[in-house]
């Protein structure tokens, strides 16, 4: 329905890298540091906490070669069910759906 047209950035690919490389280099290192921190605390948490499990799956998407990485990671972290909750369980979301509950 949208008649809108994409508006690509006028920046050339190399200019995009120049502009955004350092901050994204930092983000990757921060994630690595977070995972190392968890390992120092308890190496088994990566296989027991559904949020960390989801994060590791998301990291795999980054290197999967897809061109829709943000969308795919958003879906991966989302509740895939369609039925409403029968009652309020808690006030807020936690950032990843607990797939150990089943559902897909």
Partner 1 sequence: MRYIDHHAHMASRTTDDYANMALTGCVAVTEPAFWAGWDRSTPEGFEDYFRQLMEFEPKRAAAAGIQHYTWLGMNPKESDNREISIEVLKRIPKLLEGPTVIGIGEIGLNRVTKNEITTYTEQVELAATLGQMVLIHTPHLEDKLKGTRITIDVLRDFPSLPPGRVLVDHAEEHTIEAILEGGYWAGLTLYPQTKVSAARAVDIIEKYGPERILVAGACDWGPSDPLAVPRFIAEMRRRRHDEALIHRVVFENPFRFLSQSPKFRLPAGVAEAAAAQAG
Q: Does 22 bind partner 1 (CB under 8 A)?
A: no
Straight-line distance from the first to the last Cα atom of the chain, in angstroms, rounded to the nearest whole number: 31
Residue among 93, 46, 92, 96 nearest 73 (CA):
96
Q: How far apart are CA 27 and CA 100, in angstroms?
A: 28
Nearer to partner 1, 44 or 74 (CB): 74
- x/- mask, partner 1, residues 39-78, rule CB under 8 A, reads -------------------------------xx--xx-xx
Only segment of 28-36, 40-48, 56-64, 88-96 that touches partner 1 (CB under 8 A): 88-96
Q: Does 14 bind partner 1 (CB under 8 A)?
A: no
The CA-atom distances, in angstroms, between 44 and each of 39, 69, 82, 95, 102 are 8, 27, 32, 20, 21
Q: Residues in the site for partner 1, rule: CB under 8 A?
A: 1-11, 19-20, 70-71, 74-75, 77-82, 84-97
């Amino acid at each position: 329905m949208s008649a809108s047209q994409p508006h690509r950035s006028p920046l050339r690919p190399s200019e995009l890298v120049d502009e955004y490389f350092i901050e994204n280099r930092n983000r990757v290192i921060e994630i690595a540091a977070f995972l190392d921190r968890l390992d120092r605390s308890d190496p088994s948490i990566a296989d027991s906490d559904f949020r960390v499990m989801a994060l590791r799956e998301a990291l795999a998407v980054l290197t999967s070669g897809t061109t829709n990485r943000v969308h795919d990671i958003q879906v991966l972290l989302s509740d895939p069910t369609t039925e409403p909750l029968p009652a309020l369980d808690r006030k807020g979301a936690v950032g990843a759906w607990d797939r150990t509950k089943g559902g897909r």
